[in-house]
Amino acid sequence: MRIAIDAMGGDHAPDDIVAGVLRAKAEHPGAEFLLFGDGEKIRALLNGDTERLTVVPTTEVIETGEPPMDAIRKKKDSSLVKALASVKSGEAQAVVSAGSTGAVMAGALFGIGRIKGIQRPALAPLLPNFKGGHSMLIDSGANAECRPEYLVQFAQMGAAYMQAVEGVKEPVAALMNIGAEEEKGNELYKEVHARLAELNVPRFYGNLEPRYVLDGEADVLVADGFTGNMILKTMEGTVRFFTKSMKKQFMSSLRGKIGALILKKDFKTLIGSLDYTQYGGAPLLGVKGVVIKAHGSSDAMAFSRAISQAVLGVEQDLTARIENILQA
């Protein structure tokens, strides 16, 4: 198994990216890694380690602020384009990047291609839930405008992932909505509710209000990309507000400072459990290969977990599972 790495993508590239690869290499002895990017910088960070590591020099980097399609078309020798091309050619079975979300999606769609029958690929991050597991939010930003059949396929692809990678035997899908009643929402969501209820593959929970998104009642949380992205970013903002407020409160008095010292470890664990970026990356489901979009600010630990997602996706033949569900 070969995993292609966009070593130049992300806020902390290539340092934390390469460090994440080295962590993942120790955890997955059956995996080989192709590191695309500035050859000189990458080799310096590897410190002479060449076991199961191949550096593929490239001369260009796609920056976060660049228009995605223009960058993909013009920067043919960029680390991202070359990494995606290795999956297209079969040289690698998966790609992991912490680079521009738009560029990863555009590059995967046009560089690798969609699974036959899939109308729109979708971004699907894993969120922590109160039951101690994960729930998948799909779509979280790839498709701002959707038709009913897109959301039905999102539910099916999400269920395939949760079965293959997370080991959920019978995934339950819920439709994110403004109320639990089946008549809630606009015409799109009413139609999707009717189709999922009739199909019931995966098992359909019904509508779920966003305030219950972390309860763990459903394994797959289905939304159009605009709604899903709003949910995800609201969660990020809530965690940030909670963290800053707690710090301000603790530092406001001597008693608070003493309490902070006592609770520092527990508080850090709590905040970490609420940070979805620490659970790996967001798989881009629906393309002909395993593509994991790691968070742009990923440190070495977060990036290594994103690689672990890619390894599991390849081991469990995620692409074939999605194809089989569509055929069924």
User: C-alpha 181: how far from its chain's center?
Assistant: 30
152 CB contacts (<8 Å, ≥6 apart)? 192, 195, 196, 199
Smallest CA-to-CA distance from 281 within 310, 298, 306 is with: 306
Residue 231 has pLDDT above 60, yes or no: yes
Which of 22-31, 89-98, 142-151, 266-275 is predicted with the least confidence, judged by mean pLDDT?
Answer: 266-275
Half-sphere exposure in the Cβ direction for 294 (13 Å, CA): 37
Mean pLDDT of 211-223: 95
Q: What is the pLDDT of residues 106-152, one digit of tens each?
A: 999 988 999 988 999 999 999 988 888 889 999 998 899 999 999 99
CATH of domain 124-277: 3.40.718.10
296 in helix, strand or coil?
coil
For residue 303, CA distances in Å to 78, 89, 96, 189 come to: 20, 24, 8, 35
E strand residue ranges, 234-318: 282-285, 290-293
Mean pLDDT of 193-220: 93
Instruction: Tell me the one-letter amino acid at 76.
Output: K
**Which residue bears the tokens 């003493």?**
258
Residue 173 has pLDDT above 90, yes or no: yes
Is 273 or 160 the better-scoring residue by pLDDT?
A: 160
- Pair 197, 190: CB distance under 8 Å: no
Mean pLDDT of 302-317: 93
Instruction: Tell me the one-letter amino acid at 218.
Output: A
- Pair 231, 139: CB distance under 8 Å: no
Residue 203 has pLDDT above 80, yes or no: yes
CATH of domain 1-118+286-328: 3.40.718.10
Give me the pLDDT at residue 218, please: 96
Give me the pLDDT at residue 277, please: 57
Mean pLDDT of 205-232: 95
CA Rg value for the chain: 20
Both tokens of 78, joined, read 């960029």
Residue 276 has pLDDT above 70, yes or no: no
Number of CB atoms found within 10 A of residue 152's CB:
20
* CATH topology match: 1-118+286-328 vs 124-277: yes
Ranges of each domain in the chain: 1-118+286-328, 124-277
Both tokens of 236, joined, read 């990020």
Find residue 205's DSSP bridge partners: none
